[in-house]
Amino acid sequence: MLDDYAGIRVLDVSQGFAGPYCAAILARGGASVIKVEPPSGDWARSIGGAVEGHTAFSLVPNVGKRAVCVDGTKPIGRELLARLAKSADVVIQNFRPGVVERLQIADHQLRPDNPDLVYVSILGFGPGPYERRPATDTIIQGFTGMMAMNRDAQGTPRRIGMLAVDTAAGVYAAQQLGAALYRRLTGRGGQHIKVSLVEVAAAFQAMPILEDALHRRGRPNVPLSVPIGTFATADGHINLSCVSNAMFEGICKTLGKADWILDPRFATEAGRLSHAGEITGEVARILLTKASGHWIEAFERNDVLCGPVQGYREFLDDPHVRGSGLQATLQGGAFEGLPLTLLPGTSAEGTRLPAPPRLGEHTREVLAEHGYTDFEIDRLVEDGAIVQAKAEGRKQ
């Protein structure tokens, strides 16, 4: 674990993936992150198959945090939330418009008592006519053209099969948050950062959006180069790219197509693009005759960009990955030994990370740190304003 954010206190009241992942990036950097959940828990805990109160959806963005369970529907619960927020350096939330005001933890409600606060709001559509529309990763992928860009050969739009927008939102928000903390360090005070999923998806797609605009100005819609793409082999698939004339010559040598090297039609990138169908079809036919391993070794000998198409098990078992230190393992209970990839630039072989917190696991501990007495905490438990998980995982 790094210590870049050591001493930074983060109150994460967000749910789902984008906000919690932003907070998780700070936690991996050494920040002290308190994860606040309602008695029903973060809804991400129930998306997919749950193990010991977590799913993969909730596990990844919550490792390294302490968990507090507060009922914000009760006045005393809202007072508690405000008290936690007033001592935080960072607050992260992703509620619908109006919710943080009801919880009494909106930026304008906290700032008079905490002027140096860095407040992060991760929004759905953001300000505008659609501000109150519900927004999920899938909805935003569809709205911003991402699914259309990822359409299949028949033209059917397809969702990218992971939380692409939510993950990018967490990364972009953490990037802005780091800049805001530096701003505060240089004496320029706190800041309210607003990051919408629509903005995130647009920024993430800056290149294809620009490419589309160029096409609409008359630029032909052609492949980036030829040959390029994913090709079937005798036992799987490989990715192949050609980005120069020299590399095309290497492809020709590998495939036994020496005649292509001398063919004037294929002497330039423009010429190859004009005959993309012929070249791609012949490459596809030849690649089917041998296994992926054969082709990868042969292409690499001729300095051609290529690589295997693997599943997650193959990826994690790859000798390059096994020795890279990019994969940590979780410890504790049902999570023991499960893989969790580390953040870029932090790889270290043999890293073990703690299991994600149970719902309300650290409620009593955190409240005591914020000045609550044992008697006050017991009363809050009795009143149902907070939940403290027992050591064996049951709630009291």
**Would you say residue 166 lies in a domain?**
yes
CA distance 251 to 244: 11
**Would you say residue 346 lies in a domain?**
no
Average pLDDT on 70-82 reads 97
**Would you say residue 347 lies in a domain?**
no
Q: How many CB atoms lie within 10 A of CB 3?
A: 9
Look-up of token digits 């917190």: 357
pLDDT of 196 > 50? The answer is: yes
pLDDT of residue 396: 42
CA distance 373 to 295: 68
CA distance 44 to 236: 35
Average pLDDT on 64-84 reads 97
Last residue of a domain, one of 314, 331, 364: 314
Asked if residue 197 and residue 237 are part of one domain, the reply reads no
**Would you say residue 169 lies in a domain?**
yes
**Would you say residue 241 lies in a domain?**
yes
Average pLDDT on 179-195 reads 97
CA distance 69 to 61: 17
**Would you say residue 293 lies in a domain?**
yes
Asked if residue 191 and residue 235 are part of one domain, the reply reads no
Average pLDDT on 200-205 reads 98
CA distance 380 to 396: 11
List, for residues 8-61, the tens digit of each pLDDT value: 999 999 999 999 999 999 999 999 999 999 999 999 999 988 888 999 999 999
119: left (phi over 0), alpha (psi -120 to 50) or beta: beta
Asked if residue 24 and residue 128 are part of one domain, the reply reads yes
Give the CATH number for residue 76: 3.40.50.10540
Asked if residue 111 and residue 256 are part of one domain, the reply reads no
pLDDT of residue 323: 87
Asked if residue 111 and residue 73 are part of one domain, the reply reads yes
| Candidate from 99-103, 189-193, 348-352 with smallest mean pLDDT | 348-352
CA distance 271 to 111: 62
Residue 227, preceding peptide bond in cis (omega within 30° of 0): yes
Give 337's contacts (C-beta < 8 A, 6+ positions apart): 329, 330, 331
Domains of the chain: total = 2
Range of the domain at 299: 229-314
Asked if residue 192 and residue 127 are part of one domain, the reply reads yes
List, for residues 220-279, the tens digit of each pLDDT value: 666 778 999 999 999 999 999 999 999 999 999 999 999 999 999 999 999 999 999 999
- 103 in helix, strand or coil? helix
**Would you say residue 1 lies in a domain?**
no
Tokens encoding 88: 């935080």
List, for residues 317-327, the tens digit of each pLDDT value: 999 998 899 99
Asked if residue 267 and residue 172 are part of one domain, the reply reads no
**Would you say residue 333 lies in a domain?**
no
pLDDT of residue 2: 81
Asked if residue 145 and residue 43 are part of one domain, the reply reads yes
pLDDT of 315 > 90? The answer is: yes
Asked if residue 105 and residue 234 are part of one domain, the reply reads no
List, for residues 125-176, the tens digit of each pLDDT value: 999 999 999 999 999 999 999 999 999 988 999 999 999 999 999 999 999 9
